[in-house]
Structures are given as structure tokens and as C-alpha cells.
Amino acid sequence: MQEAMIKRAKELLADGTVNRVMGWKRGEFSYDITPAVFETAEELDAEFVCDDLTQANVSKYLIKESRKEGKILALLKPCDTYSFNQLVKEHRIIRENVYVIGIPGGPKIDIEKIKAKEISGILSVKNEDYTLKIETIYGTETMPYYEAISGKCENCKSKKHVVFDELIGEDGDVLESNRFEMVEKLENMTAQERYDFWRDQLSKCIRCNACRNVCPACTCENCVFDNPKSGIDNKAAADSFEENMFHIIRAFHVAGRCTDCGECSRVCPQNIPLHLLNRKFIKDINSLYGEYQAGADTTSRAPLNDYSTDDCEPSIVHERGVE
Amino acid sequence: MQVNENFEPVIVAFCCNWCSYAGADLSGTNRLNYPSNVKIIRVPCSCRVNPMFILRAFQKGADGVILCGCHPGDCHYTSGNYFTRRRITLLYSMLDFLGIERNRTRLEWVSAAEGAKFAAVMNQFVEDVKKLGPNRRLEDLRCRKQ
Amino acid sequence: MQRIGVFVCHCGTNIAATVDVKAVAEALGHEAGVVISQDYQYMCSESGQDLVKNAIKEHNLTGVVVCSCSPRMHENTFRKAAASAGLNPYLVEIANIREQCSWIHKDIASATDKAIVLGKAAVAKVHLNAPLTAGESPVVKRALVIGGGIAGIQTALDIAEAGFEVDIVEKEPTIGGKMAQIDKTFPTLDCAACILTPKMVEAAQNEKITIHSFSEVADVKGFVGNFTVTIKKKARFVDETKCTGCGLCTEKCPMKKVPNEFNMGLDNRTAVYIPFAQAVPKVATIDPNYCLMLKNGKCGVCSKVCTAGAIDYKQTDKMIEQKYGAIVVATGFNPIKPDKYDEFAYSYCPDVVTSLELERLMNAAGPNGGTLLRPSDKTHPHTIVFVQCVGSRCDDEKGKPYCSKICCMYTAKHAMLIREKYPDTEVYVFYIDVRTPGKNFDEFYRRAVEQYNVHYIKGMVGKVTPKADGKIDVQASDLLANEQLHINADMVVLATAIEPDKTARPLATMLTTQMDTNDFFTEAHPKLRPVESATAGIFLSGACQGPKDIPETVAQASAAAAKAIGLLCKNSITCNPCVAHSDELMCNGCSACEKVCPYGAITYQDKEFRMPDRSTAIRRVASVNPAVCQGCGACTVACPSGAMDLNGFSNSQIMAEVDAICK
């Protein structure tokens, strides 16, 4: 598949359709697959990577890239196309300046899950018939593919590309997922248990801002957390749990716009399940205001910028579930 | 849970200028009592209230935050309170999800004519918050009163 | 460096009785930036305002905080005072320590603490106030009068007289209201119809006045000077432009058993009807609840006899939209139904009637052609008992806590008229108090007692019992003689309380005006602004504001007209400068704000920006049209980056208030 991508990218560069390619290359460690822009066929041949470890959603990079001279080729997994569409809808990405090739999605491999098996000194990871062959400086290790599936792929919502100019591989369908399982589990806890859960999780936050920086919905020119005029800009926290404000506001700012791509939890160095906050909003929106999938199209009104005269009252929060 | 009889909660009430603030004025004109814990902030419309303001109040030591606006359909600006209703429903649901006590947050529709309702709502809300005791779960320790 | 002045008002004892104003001034004097903090007995008085003005000049103030009554009351007063002293009026903030503090709290310590906190919040806010300049918005030179009774008619005539277009919206098929049902008027005993109907005709003939009869206000949008009102013209199944009011249809209509509302249901009318002979517009209306054609599709007599071809069974409700600069509410009153008062036997004894029913029974155009007869057996009553304050001045839930004001006088009128016309009839009036303040009112009442020998008895009627012989036993107490009485009466007349019309509350909601707990519209100030509502551009005329007799109603109607004319005379009014604005450097161009703006005030443009790295970039940014924006702030919350903010209620200002309150 990687070869097909390189081949097609080179063709599009050669015929002048695009002058750059948004893809991935290896980072400091070979398993660290990082978004990268390629300008020549030689660069593509030498560095382009798209393998089982390639998880990063590149749509956010296209905000800036689509504003540059000439067209750029973007290779988008199904989940990335939702983020891309959402950014087109919000006038952030200039659609005409991007040539989109839909590529197959996951399930992708999370290197952290391999490391968790106390496998270290990793040199490369290969999938051989759903068994991972891991070359390390200490020798070769194996583990079942499914044990290393990335968290963000565990409850895949869709194999369908909602936007593309052409496809490599086949298009899939929107899937039936049970992605709200954990949200429901939390909803069924008592308030004290929920509080304890989140206090545990959010006290781990080191406020590195990785979640915000990777999030394709967090694309503000100037984030409120960096803006002294907003009144909520960064300050040292006396208690690390105080970072809950940051996470609530961030989740609220992306509510109705978050496509549930899962990047926030993927990049969190403290493994905080941040996507649960976003999923809570998505679940509420779906149940209170009708099914809505951000990024599924570029024309529908965002649920928070819309209303119905017979919407429920906030007291519904008091009436349902466990206190 | 320990209930402190002398606990006097800090209550922030955001009131829209056209209905609820006028309703609050009316309850004053009619000399209808409610506790002095309630401090009102005037906003043009309930839709002016950013969730950040509500969180900020809790962070700074408020024990309860109540938002009052015109009844749905009666917004001075036609649709403001409909947006409020969605935003605040989702915000309160999220606070609930994080384990914050439900009775610390409220949204009520109070018209300019409902002075009696305004007083009744505030009496009830203050009583509910008193039962919960001080807000600790959302407080920012940096802001704690000396 | 800010130089803020704080001015704490005593409001006589309104504030000072519950709030230690000296302590408030002292405490706020220590707030950062406050250079002067004073208290004064009446800050809104001229000398109070001078205090503020002088301080602005003397201390070169950059901001003013007035701790006083609601900003809805005097914000403008103090803004003007500041402006006249050379300070931008939007650098003034009000801390509401009256309506929202001294009037609701009893404990001085906690009320004072609260007043200090409210003052601190206002000081914190004023620190962040920016000078604002108001724009102007045009005034639509047309007024709407809601309700076509004597109040509405008088208001409309006065406004039209001043040269402005006026529309009257009346929910009944004719204008005229309650006064059209009244026989004679106190204290002069002139005929109500004789003085009302010429005014009705005048209104119909005035080319500046448009009457929308059988219509209701369905929706109100906009603001002072520029209201957009949707009026629902209910289907009357008769083409108003064709109907000549000849009345032939009403004669021929086979459905003759419809209770006649105009005569309080004491006789019947036909399904197609004209409420009364002098109706304006004199146009027939078909009652769809009774019309055989509309109910069963069988009949069509009226259509056949109508030579004008005005009958239209297919007519539907019609919505019309019109712009107005001013709106006058004149929705009037109704007597309550006394059927909750079992002791008066009203619901089952036909000879127990309300005063308005008696009015119809005595009216020449009424069911008996002006001869007073008992409804039960059409005989002449020889003993009539009047019961005062039925449902008025009443503590329980059945009645109203207020005095209905007009009953004492109309009962004296009824008693006098009966004694004049039927000297053989004995008239008893049971009263709690007789209240007759008004020009020639007490003289009128005394005539009833002294000249016409009406028996006024201080006391309440305990029980009214219809007897087998058709007579009515009235059991009552005479408080002055301290004895129980039984009167063998032929008729009992109940002076029922009056209440605002049922349409008033939904209307108040549409207009965003205040109402009291009894559903009377609340005036902007009970003494000084009695005909204005607190909502700019909405005026109050007649009994919708409180019980009133006809002279008072007409006086208030003209006053409301004068206020409306004062507004309509202006070509433009000063706009609210508290509008949204977008910080282009932070705007993402995402369109969230545009989606939530109810006024379409936000547009986008592509603009060239110099980026931090010195490159230039084209970015899509929002801009707000300040003339269109009404300042609701919906966009400020929809905006994820915080680029959109609201003048006068900025994010930082509101958060400063939050901080001050929570500290």
C-alpha cells in the first residue's frame, strides 16, 4: 500500500496537479511516525512512510498548507476525512488547494502497548499475518497484532471516506461502534465515584498542551489559554487537579465540532482518557438534539449554533442517571 | 455529610437585562425577600453568559451559580435563550459527568413580570446549595479565601 | 491610572434604612483606583447629580460608580450627568443596592455587606469600561394601539391628530370595548353611547387611523422606534371591504340561539352577527362555532341574501406584518365571574346578576329594551340588593387583593337610576366602605343616599338563598346597628371585581414588559412615568395598568398618546453602543458567530494580514455592523477563540465582576 501511495504521489507531482505532498516520515525513533511535507519524488522515495504505526491525523496541518502557493496532496485515512471536512466547513482549510486521496484506515498499532509488554530497544515492528514481529537491540520478539491496537482504533466509528478526490484501496462503511460504552459506565457511577475517577485522571495532567496542539478542532489563531485578555490564560496551578478547568473549557470549545478522531488521548503523555470528555458531549448531543457527526458534511449547522424551540431544559441533567 | 449551620454560600446569579434582571427588580419593588447570598450580575441576554464565566465563578469560590433568562420564545433578541438552553444543558451535563454536585448549577426562566418567581427560585436555590456545603470540587486553591 | 468616584445614594430611607450607606462609602473608598467615595440623600436629585458632576471635574475622574436604585431606573440620569461634566457616559456603572439589596433584605449587617460587594463588582467593572459613542437609528413614524376600547380610541385619535399614522388592533369584531356596554356614566348620568359612538366613528373616519378589528397581535420583534409586529386578522368569513352592514344576513340567519356576548348572554343573537347597532366597523361576522354552513356545510342563507356578495366561507386567518415606532397597550379589563362565590348563588339563580349584566338589563338596546325586569320571570323587581366588593379587597384565592375602584360609583349610579325610574322599588346597598374620591363623586353618592333614599348598610352579605316563591332571601349583617338582617329581595346585583384582560399576559411576554402579580402592566415609575412601561417605546393606556374609571382612562390615554407622539416626532433615536465587535487578529473566520446572530449583523471579508514572521497572509475575518447589532452577545459565546466581544459587557468586565463577588 505504501508503494502505491508513493507511486501515485510521484505521478501527481510530475503532472503538476500538486507541488507538495502531506505524508509521514520516521522521527527520532524509527517507530515514531511523524507528519511531514515532501516536495520531490526523491524525498518521497527516501522518507515517505505509511505503515501500521502511522496514526497521526494530518488534517490540522492543511490549514496552513492550503494557504500556501500551489496545491498540496493529502493522504487521509477515513477518520482524518471527517476532521478535514469539518475544517473545510469552518473555512479553515481551503478545499481547492488540497488534492485528497483517501487511503485505508486502521486498526493501527500503538507502540506504547508494545512497550507496555516490557519490550524495549525497539528497532522495527512488522505485521506478519496478524502477529507482530518486533526487532529490538536485544533480539526479536513477537506478540499478537490485536493486543497492540491503538486506543483510537478500538472503537472505530467509520471506514468511510467522507471526502476525497480519489481513493487508494476500497471505501468502507460507517460502522456500528460501541464507543460510548465507557461514557455510559461513568454515567452510571455515583457523583462521588465520577469525581474520584476524574480527579485521579486529571491530576496526572502536566499541562503540556499536547492534546490541544494535536487536536484538529483546536485551531484558533490565538488560543484563549494563550491570550492574556481572555482571563483564563496559563497560570501555575496550586493543585494539579485544577487543570480540570482547562479540560472542561477545551472540551466545550470543541463540542459539536469534535469528530471523535481520538488524537487527544493518543498523544497524551500521561494517558489521560481525554476523548471521554469529548464523547460525553457527542453522546449528549446525539441523545438530546438528534444524531450528529461532526465533519460528515460541510453544510449542516453545528448543534451548538443551532436550536429547536422544543429543546429539553437543562434540568434534564438533574432528572437522569445517578447523582 | 457534615452540614454546617452557619455556612453562608456565595451565589452568583447571571440575569438577562430584559426579563430576569427586571424580574429581580420587581421582587425588590414588591419587597419579596430572598437571601443576601445572591449577588446578581447583569448581562444583556442569557446567551451572553460564557461557560467560562460560570467555571470562573466556581474557581474563584462561588458555591452555586444560577443563570436566569427570558422564557423560551420571549427572548428580547428572539433566539438568544434557545442557544443558552443548549449550551448550558451541555455544560451542566459535563459538570455532572465530572462529578460536580448537580444542585450547584441551575438555569431558570424568569420573566419581567415574575418577581415572586424570582424570589422563590432564589430562596430554593440558596437552600439547595446550603445543603451541599462549600464548593470544593471545582474550586481553585489559588483563589481560596484567607 | 484610574481615578474612580463612588457615589452612594440613601434614596431617603429606601436604601439607608437597611444599608449602612456610610459604611458602604467608606469600604468602597479603599478599593483600588477609587479617589473619592461619598454618600448623599438623593443622588438622582439635581444637587445629587451636581455632586457627581463636580467630583468628575474636580478629581478628573475616569470612571463613576453610583450605588443606588436599579440601572433600569436611573442609569440614563447618571450617564447624562457624567456627559454634561465631560465624562463619557459609558464610563458610569450602577450598583443596584435598592431593588436588589435594601428592598429585599431586612438584616442591616448582611444587606450592608452585600451592598459593599455589589459596589466592589461595579468598581471592578468600571476599571475596564471603555468610552463608547452611540450611533443613531431611525424612528418608524407609525404607532400601534393594542385594544380598541375608550382608552385605545382616545390614544389613537390623539396620535392621529398629531399627524402620525396609527393602527388599532381590536380582538372583538367592533371597537368600543366595555364602555359600549354601559348605559349611563357617573357622575353626570349622560348616556355612554352618546359620548362614545361619535369617537368610534371619528376613529373610523380619520384617514390616519387604520382599524384592524377581529384581530390579534401574534408576534412582536424589534425595539423602540423600530418594532415589527405580526397581526393576525382572524377569519370573519365576511369580506370587510364588501359588507355594507345592512344587517339582512343577521335577520335571515336560521341559527338564532347563540348567546349574545354583548348583552352578557342575557339574550341570543344569530350565528352571523353585528355586535350592536353602532358597531365600528359595521361589518357582519360569522361565528364558526354556530354557523351551520361552516359546521355542516348545509345552509348558505346569508350568502344568498347578501346583495354585496360579501360572505366568504373560505376565508382564513391572515397574517399581516407592519413596522411601528411606538406601541401603546390598551387591553383593558373584564369583570371576574362570581361563580366561585357559592354564597351568592350566582351560578344557579338567574336573578342574581353582576353589575355589568344589570347595565345591559337597564339599557335601551339591551334584552328588555330598557325596562328593568327580572331575568327569571320578566317581572318588575320591587326590592333590589346590591353587594359591594365581590372579589375585591379579598385575601383569599377566589378574589383580588386590590380595590376595583369603580364599583362604589357605578353602584350609586345604578341605585339612583332605579329609584328615579321605579320609585316603588326599594334599593339596599351592602358595603365595606364607600370610596368616592373624584370630582363631583361624593356629591353624587350623597344624592343617592339623601335625595333618592337608597338604603346604604355597612356590612357584608353572608348568604343569598333563592326561595320557592321566586323571591330571594338575603342574609346580611348590619355592622353599625350590630344586627343580622334578612331581606326578601327580587334581585341581587353583585359588584364584581375587575381584572386585566386574559390576553394581557401573553402580550406582556411578547412585548417584554413587566406585569404585577395581578397581571396589570407595571408602569416605568409609579409616580413619574405612569403611562410608560419600563421597556422603551411601549406605553400604557387605560385599565390595563390598573382599575380606572372613564375620565381617568381617557386622561391616561391622552397622556400615553403624548408620550408616543414625543417619540414619533423624533427622526432618529440614539442607538445602543453596547454592540459586538471582533478582534481581527484573533478571528478564525469560522462563521460560528454569523450562524447565531439573529440580526444578520455579521459579515466576513478576506483581509491581508502581516504575520509575525513578516510574511503576509489572507485571512477570512468577521466584522459586525454596529447599526444592525442589538448587543445580545450570542456571538461572543459561539466564538471559540474569544475574538468576538461585547462593548459594555466584555468578557473581562464580566469576569471582573465575578471575581469581585466571589472574592
> Which CATH number do you get for residue C533?
3.50.50.60
Cβ-Cβ contacts under 8 Å, A191 against chain B: 96, 99-102
Calpha distance C425→C358 (Å, rounded): 15
Which of C13, C2, C41 is closest to C25 using CA atoms?
C41
**CA distances to A102, A259, C149, C162, C436 from A84, in Å:** 11, 10, 63, 63, 79
| pTM of the predicted structure, to 2 decimals | 0.70
Calpha distance A139→C339 (Å, rounded): 98
Using an 8 Å Cβ cutoff, are C451 and C445 in contact? no
CB contacts < 8 Å between A and C, how many? 57
Q: Region C389-416: what's the mean pLDDT?
A: 94
Test A249 with B102 for CB contact under 8 angstroms: no
Which of C269, C387, C281 is closest to C338 using CA atoms?
C387
Which of C585, C588, C650 is the best substitution to test chain A (most A C-beta atoms within 10 A)? Answer: C588
Which of A221, A281, A307 is the best substitution to test chain C (most C C-beta atoms within 10 A)? Answer: A221
Q: What is the pLDDT, as a whole number, of residue A237?
A: 60
pLDDT higher than threshold 50 for residue A192: yes
Structural domain containing residue C366: 335-497
In a domain, C662, yes or no: no
C535 and C625 share a domain?
Answer: no
Distance from CA of C6 to the nearest CA of A (A): 26
Test A221 with C586 for CB contact under 8 angstroms: yes
Which of B80, B74, B62 is closest to B10 using CA atoms?
B62
Calpha distance A48→A41 (Å, rounded): 10
Using an 8 Å Cβ cutoff, are C256 and C270 in contact? yes
Cβ-Cβ contacts under 8 Å, B72 against chain A: 309, 311
* Torsion on CA atoms C582, C584, C590, C595, rounded to nearest 10: 20
Q: Select the residue of B82, B90, B93 nearest A307 (Cβ to Cβ).
A: B82
Q: What is the pLDDT, as a whole number, of residue C395?
A: 84
Which residue among C568, C596, C613 closes a domain? Answer: C568
Calpha distance C386→C266 (Å, rounded): 19
Calpha distance A130→A115 (Å, rounded): 18
Name the one residue in this structure whose C-alpha cell is 460587594.
C117
Q: What is the pLDDT, as a whole number, of residue A199?
A: 87
Q: Select the residue of C103, C659, C661 nearest B29 (Cβ to Cβ).
A: C103
Test B113 with C515 for CB contact under 8 angstroms: yes
C545 and C613 share a domain?
Answer: no
Radius of gyration for the alpha carbons in chain C, expressed in angstroms and rounded: 31
Q: Region C447-465: what's the mean pLDDT?
A: 95
Using an 8 Å Cβ cutoff, are A76 and A161 in contact? yes
pLDDT profile of chain B (146 residues), mean per 10: 73 94 94 95 95 90 94 83 94 92 93 93 95 84 48
Residues of C with CB under 8 A from a CB of A: 585-592, 595-596, 604, 617-620, 638, 640-643, 651-652, 655
Taking every pair of Cα atoms in chain C, the longest distance, rounded to a whole number of angstroms, is 106
Confidence of residue C457 (pLDDT cuts 50, 70, 90): very high
In a domain, C533, yes or no: yes
N residues, chain B: 146
Closest chain B CA to residue C119: B39
Q: What angle do CA C348, C352, C355 make, to 5 degrees?
A: 135
Name, of A155-159, A199-203, A204-208, C176-180, the range with top average pLDDT: C176-180
Confidence of residue A309 (pLDDT cuts 50, 70, 90): confident
Q: What is the pLDDT, as a whole number, of residue B1?
A: 47
C526 and C621 share a domain?
Answer: no
Count the neighbouring beta carbons within 10 Å of the beta carbon of residue A16: 9
pLDDT in tens, C255-300: 999 999 999 999 999 999 999 999 999 999 999 999 999 999 999 9
Average pLDDT of chain C? 94
Name the one residue in this structure whose C-alpha cell is 371576574.
C336
pLDDT higher than threshold 60 for residue C559: yes
Contacts of C40 (CB under 8 A, 6+ apart): C7, C8, C9, C10, C47, C48, C51
Calpha distance C177→C498 (Å, rounded): 14
Test B85 with A289 for CB contact under 8 angstroms: no
Q: Does C636 touch chain B (CB under 8 A)?
A: yes
Closest chain A CA to residue C635: A305
Using an 8 Å Cβ cutoff, are C655 and A231 in contact? yes
Closest chain B CA to residue C114: B36
Test A91 with C590 for CB contact under 8 angstroms: yes
Calpha distance C152→C507 (Å, rounded): 15
Test B93 with A280 for CB contact under 8 angstroms: yes
DSSP tag of C453: -
Kindly report each contact of residues A197-204 with a partner whose C-beta sits within 8 Å and lies 24 or more positions away, as own/partner.
A197/B99, A198/A244, A198/B98, A198/B99, A199/A241, A199/B99, A201/A272, A201/A273, A202/A240, A202/A241, A202/A243, A202/A244, A202/A247, A202/A272, A203/A239, A203/A240, A203/A241, A203/A243, A204/A240, A204/A270, A204/A271, A204/A272
Count the neighbouring beta carbons within 10 Å of the beta carbon of residue A231: 20
| Grid cell for residue C63 | 470612571
Distance from CA of A101 to the nearest CA of B (A): 36
Using an 8 Å Cβ cutoff, are C493 and C345 in contact? no
Q: Select the residue of A219, A229, A301 nearest C588 (Cβ to Cβ).
A: A219
Q: Select the residue of C590, C618, C619 nearest A90 (Cβ to Cβ).
A: C590
Burial of A318 (0-12, 13-18, 19+ CB in 10 A): middle
In a domain, C174, yes or no: yes
What 3-state class would DSSP assign to C288? coil
Calpha distance C213→C234 (Å, rounded): 9
Closest chain C CA to residue A69: C617
Q: Region C352-361: what's the mean pLDDT?
A: 96
Which of C218, C207, C209 is closest to C152 using CA atoms?
C209
For C31-57, what is the HEC assignment?
CCCEEEEEEECCCCCHHHHHHHHHHHH
Burial of C318 (0-12, 13-18, 19+ CB in 10 A): exposed
C486 and C346 share a domain?
Answer: yes
Task: Please report, for the domain that includes residue C610, its CATH number.
Answer: 3.30.70.3270
In a domain, C49, yes or no: yes
Contacts of A67 (CB under 8 A, 6+ apart): A94, A97, C617, C618
pLDDT in tens, C383-393: 999 999 999 99
Q: Select the residue of C519, C535, C649 nearest B48 (Cβ to Cβ).
A: C649
C398 and C252 share a domain?
Answer: no
C361 and C487 share a domain?
Answer: yes
Confidence of residue A234 (pLDDT cuts 50, 70, 90): low
Which residue among C102, C128, C154 closes a domain? Answer: C128
Q: What is the pLDDT, as a whole number, of residue C628?
A: 73
In a domain, C371, yes or no: yes
**CA distances to A145, B89, C52, C227 from A169, in Å:** 21, 42, 77, 60
C16 and C107 share a domain?
Answer: yes
* Residue C431, beta-bridge partner list: C458
Closest chain C CA to residue B11: C662
Which of B29, B52, B55 is the best substitution to test chain C (most C C-beta atoms within 10 A)? Answer: B29
Cβ-Cβ contacts under 8 Å, B56 against chain A: 231-232
Q: What is the DSSP string of C155-197?
A: HHHHHHHTT-EEEEE-SSSSS-GGGGG-SEETTTTEEHHHHHH
Name the one residue in this structure whose C-alpha cell is 444542585.
B103
pLDDT in tens, C137-191: 889 999 999 999 999 999 999 999 999 999 999 999 999 999 999 999 999 999 9
Encode burial over C396-416: b for 16+ CB neighbours within 10 A, e otherwise: eeebbebbbbbbbbbbbbbbb
Distance from CA of C220 to the nearest CA of A (A): 17
Average pLDDT of chain A? 89
Name, of A283-287, C574-578, C598-602, the range with top average pLDDT: A283-287
Which chains are adjacent to chain A, needing at least 3 Cβ pairs under 8 Å?
Answer: B, C
DSSP tag of A159: -
* Residue C229, beta-bridge partner list: C220, C322
Q: What is the pLDDT, as a whole number, of residue C47?
A: 94
Q: Select the residue of B89, B105, B141 nearest A288 (Cβ to Cβ).
A: B89
Closest chain A CA to residue C587: A221
In a domain, C379, yes or no: yes
C362 and C393 share a domain?
Answer: yes
Using an 8 Å Cβ cutoff, are B76 and B15 in contact? no
C105 and C156 share a domain?
Answer: no
C285 and C415 share a domain?
Answer: no
pLDDT higher than threshold 60 for residue A66: yes
Burial of C131 (0-12, 13-18, 19+ CB in 10 A): exposed
Calpha distance C104→B28 (Å, rounded): 5
* Torsion on CA atoms C71, C77, C83, C85, rounded to nearest 10: -120
Q: Does B131 touch chain A (CB under 8 A)?
A: no
- Please state, for a pLDDT cut of 70, what percent of chain C lies above it: 100
| Grid cell for residue C381 | 323587581
Calpha distance C154→C564 (Å, rounded): 13
Encode burial over A54-72: b for 16+ CB neighbours within 10 A, e otherwise: bbbbbbbbbbebbeeeebb
Count the neighbouring beta carbons within 10 Å of the beta carbon of residue C202: 16
Which of B11, B25, B52, B63 is the best substitution to test chain C (most C C-beta atoms within 10 A)? Answer: B25
Strands C602-610 and C616-624, sheet pairing: antiparallel
Which of A64, A219, A220, A254 is the best substitution to test chain C (most C C-beta atoms within 10 A)? Answer: A220
Closest chain C CA to residue B53: C655
Indicate the range of A5-9, A318-322, C74-78, C334-338 predicted with least confidence: A318-322
What 3-state class would DSSP assign to B19? coil
Burial of B56 (0-12, 13-18, 19+ CB in 10 A): buried
pLDDT in tens, A243-253: 678 889 899 99
Which of B102, B99, B68 is closest to B85 using CA atoms?
B68
| Grid cell for residue A278 | 469529548
Contacts of C492 (CB under 8 A, 6+ apart): C344, C345, C349, C351, C352, C353, C384, C385, C386, C387, C461, C464, C472, C474
In a domain, C438, yes or no: yes
Q: What is the pLDDT, as a whole number, of residue C550?
A: 96
Cβ-Cβ contacts under 8 Å, B98 against chain A: 194-195, 198, 244, 248
C323 and C346 share a domain?
Answer: no
Q: At what angle do helices C407-421 and C355-362 cross, to 10 degrees?
A: 30
Query: Considering Cα of A307, then A310, then A311, then A315, what sign does the dihedral take?
Result: positive
| Grid cell for residue C154 | 382616545
Name the one residue in this structure whose C-alpha cell is 414625543.
C566
* Residue A24, beta-bridge partner list: A35
Which residue among C442, C462, C497 closes a domain? Answer: C497
Cβ-Cβ contacts under 8 Å, B82 against chain A: 307-309, 311
Cβ-Cβ contacts under 8 Å, B55 against chain A: 245, 248-249
Q: C 110-139 residues with CB below 8 A of B?
A: 110-111, 113-114, 117-118, 121
C296 and C434 share a domain?
Answer: no
Task: Please report, for the domain that includes residue C86, its CATH number.
Answer: 3.40.50.960
**Under CATH, which number does the domain B11-133 receive?**
3.40.50
**What is the count of structural domains for chain C?**
5
pLDDT higher than threshold 70 for residue A322: no
Test A301 with C595 for CB contact under 8 angstroms: yes
